[in-house]
Amino acid sequence: MRVEALAVARKEVRQTLRDKRTLVVLVIAPLLQLTVLGFAVNLEVEGLPTVIVDADRTAASRDFAADLTAGELFEVVERSAVADDGVAALVAGEAEVALVLPRGFARAELAGRPAPVQVLTDGSNANHAIVARNAVEAFALQRGLQRLRERGAVPTMGRPDVRPRVLYNPTLDSRVYFVPGVAATLLLVVTFIVTAMGLAREKEAGTLEQVLVTPLPPSALVVGKTLPYAVVGMLDLGLVVTAGAAIFDVPLRGSLFLLAFAGALYLLTTLGLGLLVATLAKNQQQAFMAAFFIILPMVLLSGFMSPVPDMPDWL
């Protein structure tokens, strides 16, 4: 029993060593993934695009904004004196945070009254919104207490009055961000692997060669092979969107037609990658391993797990 098992094991090792494609996936792919993902995946929140709306235009307001954004958490992308510019930047997707310093900020601070500060955040990423809000509140508290100590006053009043406002996700429910990301990941895995494995199975069984010798045009063959998977993908898209709204209370707003159109383009990408993998793979084992090698970086580098601005520039 032991001798026979060792003989089979030696045979599998030799066969694997002769198959250069499998050897590349087993040895080189993990090293590449570790190197790339080790640099790319960063769960620390840094470089949040921030708009500074300074309506007060005083030395105190400028110092407050400069000290707050001196670290790595906030990255100032725009400065303005109009309050509506902050909301416009968040709506346009140009910023995730808008810090509004209204008129009277310096007077309130000098008088020892709570100086109003408004923080606008994009709640579509609840984690970023919470981190930004907490950072502003902590900085405002520290600054207020420091000013009171400098005057020898009792540190009970005088700190800025932070008024947070969250757009798109007022309750900061993390499911609003994670459920759509998980749904997109599931669509990627299902359509990619099913397409790659299905065509690789036919190639391995020899049925694909029989179809290739027929007068069927190559374009018709490609469309015919991918059309069923595309239909299944669109049905899965509708299923996950409905389940996300019904089970997890993820708000569904906007154009359903635009969502379906974007989903169709997304599925074309995943189906195309599945076809590419099936073309290069000799068997189902190679197709599955290659699909795994491609899917993992796609998910981790998409911005779903780690913010894209925090990744190295060479990625």
Q: What is the mean pLDDT of the chain?
A: 80
Residues 144, 192 within the same domain: no
Residues 242, 297 within the same domain: yes
Residues 163, 228 within the same domain: no
Spatial distance between the Cα atoms of 148 and 160, rounded to a whole number of angstroms: 12
What are the backbone angles phi and psi of residue 127, rounded to the nearest 5°? Answer: -65, -45
Q: Does the residue 2 lie in any domain?
A: no
Residue 249 φ/ψ region, left for φ over 0, alpha for ψ in the -120 to 50 degree band, beta for the rest: left
Residues 134, 178 within the same domain: no
Burial class (CB in 10 A: 0-12, 13-18, 19+), 266: middle
Residues 162, 180 within the same domain: no
Boundary residue ending a domain (167, 197, 212): 167
Q: Does the residue 78 lie in any domain?
A: yes
Residues 218, 301 within the same domain: yes
Boundary residue ending a domain (110, 132, 167): 167
Question: Is the entire prediction scored with pTM above 0.85?
Answer: no
Q: Does the residue 14 lie in any domain?
A: no
Boundary residue ending a domain (167, 197, 222): 167
Q: Does the residue 62 lie in any domain?
A: yes
Residue-wise pLDDT tens for the chain (315 aa)?
A: 566 667 666 766 677 667 776 666 667 767 776 776 666 666 677 788 999 998 888 888 888 888 888 888 888 898 888 878 888 888 888 889 999 888 888 887 777 677 788 899 988 887 888 888 888 888 888 877 777 676 665 555 445 577 788 888 777 777 888 888 888 888 888 888 888 888 888 787 777 777 667 777 877 777 888 888 888 889 988 898 898 888 888 888 888 899 999 999 999 899 989 888 888 888 887 888 888 888 888 887 887 777 676 677 766
Angle between helices 218-247 and 175-205 (to 10 degrees): 150
Residues 178, 67 within the same domain: no
Q: Does the residue 162 lie in any domain?
A: yes
Residues 298, 265 within the same domain: yes
51: β partners: 78, 98
Q: What is the pLDDT of residue 72?
A: 82
Domains held by the chain: number: 2
Residues 205, 179 within the same domain: yes
Q: Does the residue 206 lie in any domain?
A: yes
- Write the CB contacts of 258 (distance below 8 Å, at least 6 apart in sequence): none
Q: Does the residue 17 lie in any domain?
A: no
Residues 197, 160 within the same domain: no
| Residue 111 in tokens | 């008088």
What range does the domain containing 222 cover? 174-310
Q: Does the residue 10 lie in any domain?
A: no
- Write the CB contacts of 188 (distance below 8 Å, at least 6 apart in sequence): 270, 295, 298, 299
What are the backbone angles phi and psi of residue 109, rounded to the nearest 5°? Answer: -70, -40
Residues 294, 185 within the same domain: yes
- Write the CB contacts of 288 (distance below 8 Å, at least 6 apart in sequence): 193, 196, 197
C-alpha distance across the termini of the chain, in Å: 51
Residues 247, 162 within the same domain: no
The domain that holds 115 is classified in CATH as 3.40.1710.10
Q: What is the pLDDT of residue 249?
A: 85
